[in-house]
Every structure is written in C-alpha cells, then in structure tokens.
C-alpha cells in the first residue's frame, strides 16, 4: 500500500493524496473526503521514512539520559515527551547507562537525523560535542548549568545547590555534618559546592559514605551505617537524593536514633514522597517537569526557525524546609 495505490483508487494524483493528508486546507472538501475514505477503507499508513527523506524533516527528537531506573529524570521525560507529541514529534529514547557509551549512542542517533536533541548534563566527550555542533541540529542540554553549552541549556547550578545545603545546615547550628552521597556526575558537583562552604566555615573534614550511582533506598541505610561505624560524630546527614535520605531515616529509626532530635537529615530532589514521610523530608526541590517542558519548547522554537532569546535558562531550585531537620 503506497500513496500511489491510494491515489489510483481515489482517482487523483499522488501529490493530491499527500496534500489531503498533510495540508487538508489546500484541497477541495470533496477530494479531501474522497481521499480520506479511501485511506480509512484501505488502512493505508503513510511511510514517514520516505516522507522524511524527501522533506528532510524527520519529526523526531532524540532524548538521551544516563539511565532511568531510580532516577529523577522520569518526570522530565514525561513532560518532554508530552510537549513534543503535541506538536507531532516522536521521541527517540537513548539510555547511555552512566558509562561512556554516550558517544556511540549519539553517533547512532545522528544518523536518524533528529530535528532536535535533548541531552542530560553538560559532560560530553569533546568529539561528541564537535559532532553535535557540526550537525547543526538544535541541542538542549539539561539538568546542569554552564556558560558554554553546546547550543541551548535548561538547568540549574548543582554547585549552588550544594552550597545552599551546607549553609542551611550551618545556619541550623550543625557543624558535625556527614554525607551519604551517590557518585554520579552532578551529585559530585553538589558535593563540591557543599564541601567548599563547609571548608570556608572551618570544617575541612567531612565523613562521607559514597555509594554507587544513583541513590537507592538500601544504599542510604548502608551509608548511615558506614558513617556511624566510622566513629565520626554526626549531628546532620546530607544526602545526594531523597531516596538515600529515606534510607538513612529508616536506618536511624531502626537504631533508635531520633530525627531530627539526634540527627538531622536532608535530601535532594523533592520526590513525591518527601513531603509525606515521617518525619517529612527537608530537601532541595527541582522543577523536574518544567525542565522537560522548557527543553521541549526551546527545541520546538528552534526547529521552527525562531531565534531563541535565552539560550541558557536557569530554573533554579528551592530549599524546602520540613521536619527532618
């Protein structure tokens, strides 16, 4: 079943069928009706591959994430996908697995000629960067901040987020601060910010339970156990994610440690449970869905040839104080 078959049955030329389907306003109501009836009767499905080749418009946007299990990105994916679909774009999903396979992955993606590319983070191989720039495809990097993005960017400063966590805990009077921290890229930057503020305040040594990325509940338990086992004095524990924090709290409660009485706990991400646990969780809230929405809008704008005024959008973050600190 090709457009030619449909055309023959409907008694028009192939291009008229094409128009009836893609630009119905250019076609007489009469022929439109005729074409549509043939299409629905025959179950004809236009081959978008052929269309894409000729029109040089793939109607595909690629989205690359390190991984999606136990991660903060699902809300972003959902929002991104919803926005793009509304405009007739489909999402090609790439999961780069936190390993260094992003390279190959993006190489493969570029062959598909997507009209836009969403990337998680700003840490890409120089080669990848070059390739992306050379491709002239609109790119949005997200979930991080840099003055020199590949193209566009929607994110926030992890360094500042880490600093905010430190300042908050200091303001609460804590000086014996321990970390339970995942080891992914962006968490590392938050940690750096956090440590730098602590250092400024004369706290150079910070006991840390480092966990493989990304934060899982059980890792939080192990992290706290590790901290306590090390003999370090700890009056507050900062975590690189709410999930870790939840694990820390569970472990503390099992050990009869009161929160926030004995130890204050702070998370990151403002997952949907954070407001509702006991105690509710002090955390850093990120507009996860907003990032996806803004990224989609930025890509769509550029695809439609509009110049995007703000190539860098800082969505910021919000420290949400709750009962765990």
Partner DNA sequence: CGCAAAAATGGTATCGGTAACATCCTTCGC
Partner DNA sequence: GCGAAGGATGTTACCGATACCATTTTTGCG
Footprint on this chain of DNA (rule: CB under 7 A): 1-4, 11-19, 21-22, 26-28, 30-31, 46-47, 50-51, 53-57
Minimal distance in Å, beta carbon 101 to DNA? 22
Prior bond to 260 cis, omega within 30? Answer: yes
Minimal distance in Å, beta carbon 235 to a second copy? 22
What does the radius of gyration of the chain's CA atoms come to, in whole angstroms?
Answer: 25
For a second copy, the binding residue among 26, 50, 125, 199 (CB under 8 A) is 50
Minimal distance in Å, beta carbon 276 to a second copy? 5
Long-range Cβ pairs for the range 271-280 (8 Å, 24+): 271/72, 271/241, 271/242, 271/243, 273/242, 273/246, 274/242, 274/245, 274/320, 274/322, 275/320, 275/322, 277/246, 277/249, 277/324, 278/323, 279/249, 279/322, 279/323, 279/324, 280/322, 280/323, 280/324
Give the single-character DSSP code of 27. S
Q: Please answer whether residues 63 and 104 qualify as being in contact, where contact means their C-beta atoms are separated by less than 8 angstroms.
A: no
Residue 112 or residue 318: which is nearer to a second copy going by CB? 112
Euclidean distance between the first and final Cα of the chain, in Å? 65
Residue 250 or residue 319: which is nearer to a second copy going by CB? 250
Residue 194-233 contact track with a second copy, rule CB under 8 A, x = bound: ----------------------xxx--x------------
Residue 14 or residue 188: which is nearer to DNA going by CB? 14
Residues 6+ away with beta carbon under 8 Å from 84? 61, 90, 91, 296, 299, 300
Residue 230-269 contact track with a second copy, rule CB under 8 A, x = bound: -------------x--xx--x--xx---------------
Give the three-class secondary structure for 64. strand
Q: Does 52 bind a second copy (CB under 8 A)?
A: yes
Q: Which does 269 bind (CB under 5 to 8 A by kind): a second copy, DNA, none?
A: none
Percent of the chain as helix, strand, coil, to the nearest 5: 45, 15, 40
Residue 112 or residue 258: which is nearer to a second copy going by CB? 112
DSSP of 143-180, one letter per residue?
SS--SS-SSEEEE--HHHHHHHHHHHHHHTT---EEEE
For a second copy, the binding residue among 92, 232, 301, 308 (CB under 8 A) is 92
CB atoms within 10 A of CB 212: 11
Minimal distance in Å, beta carbon 80 to DNA? 25
Q: Does 46 bind a second copy (CB under 8 A)?
A: yes
- 139, containing H or E segment: strand 139-142
Site for a second copy in 99-158 (CB under 8 A): 105, 107-113, 130-131, 134-135
For a second copy, the binding residue among 31, 70, 146, 183 (CB under 8 A) is 70
Give the single-character DSSP code of 308. P
Q: Token pair of 15, please?
A: 């291009």
Minimal distance in Å, beta carbon 185 to DNA? 33
Q: Does 22 bind a second copy (CB under 8 A)?
A: no
Size of residue set near a second copy by CB under 8 A: 60
Residue 44 or residue 317: which is nearer to DNA going by CB? 44
Q: Please answer whether residues 7 and 48 qualify as being in contact, where contact means their C-beta atoms are separated by less than 8 angstroms.
A: no
Residues of this chain that bind a second copy (CB under 8 A): 43, 45-50, 52-53, 58, 60, 63, 67-71, 74-75, 77-78, 81-82, 85, 88, 90-95, 97, 105, 107-113, 130-131, 134-135, 216-218, 221, 243, 246-247, 250, 253-254, 272-273, 275-278
């Amino acid at each position: 079943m090709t457009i030619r078959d449909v055309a023959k049955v409907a008694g028009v030329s192939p291009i008229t069928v094409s128009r009836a389907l893609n630009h119905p306003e250019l076609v007489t109501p009469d022929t439109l009706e005729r074409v549509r009836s043939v299409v629905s009767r025959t179950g004809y499905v236009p081959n978008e591959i052929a269309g894409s080749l000729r029109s040089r418009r793939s109607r595909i946007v690629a989205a690359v994430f390190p991984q999606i299990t136990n991660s903060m990105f699902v809300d972003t994916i959902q929002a991104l996908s919803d926005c793009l679909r509304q405009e007739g774009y489909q999402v090609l999903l790439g999961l780069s697995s936190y390993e260094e396979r992003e390279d190959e992955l993006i190489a493969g993606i570029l062959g598909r000629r997507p009209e836009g590319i969403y990337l998680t983070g700003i840490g890409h191989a120089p080669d990848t960067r070059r390739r992306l720039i050379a491709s002239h495809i609109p790119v949005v990097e997200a979930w991080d901040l840099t003055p020199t993005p590949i193209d566009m960017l929607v994110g926030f400063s992890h360094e500042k987020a880490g600093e905010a966590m430190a300042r908050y805990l200091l303001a609460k009077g804590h000086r014996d601060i321990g970390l339970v921290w995942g080891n992914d890229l962006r968490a590392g930057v938050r940690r750096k910010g956090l440590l730098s503020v602590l250092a400024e305040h004369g706290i150079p040594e910070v006991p840390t339970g480092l966990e493989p990325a990304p934060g899982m509940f059980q890792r939080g338990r192990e992290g706290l156990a590790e901290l306590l086992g090390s003999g370090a004095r700890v009056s507050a524990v900062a975590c690189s994610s709410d999930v870790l924090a939840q694990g820390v709290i569970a472990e503390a409660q099992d050990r009869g440690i009161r929160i926030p009485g004995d130890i204050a706990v702070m998370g990151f991400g403002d997952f949907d449970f954070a407001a509702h646990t006991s105690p509710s969780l002090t955390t850093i809230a990120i507009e996860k869905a907003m990032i996806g929405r803004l990224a989609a809008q930025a890509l769509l704008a550029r695809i439609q040839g509009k110049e995007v005024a703000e190539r860098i959008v800082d969505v910021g973050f919000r420290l949400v104080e709750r009962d765990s600190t």
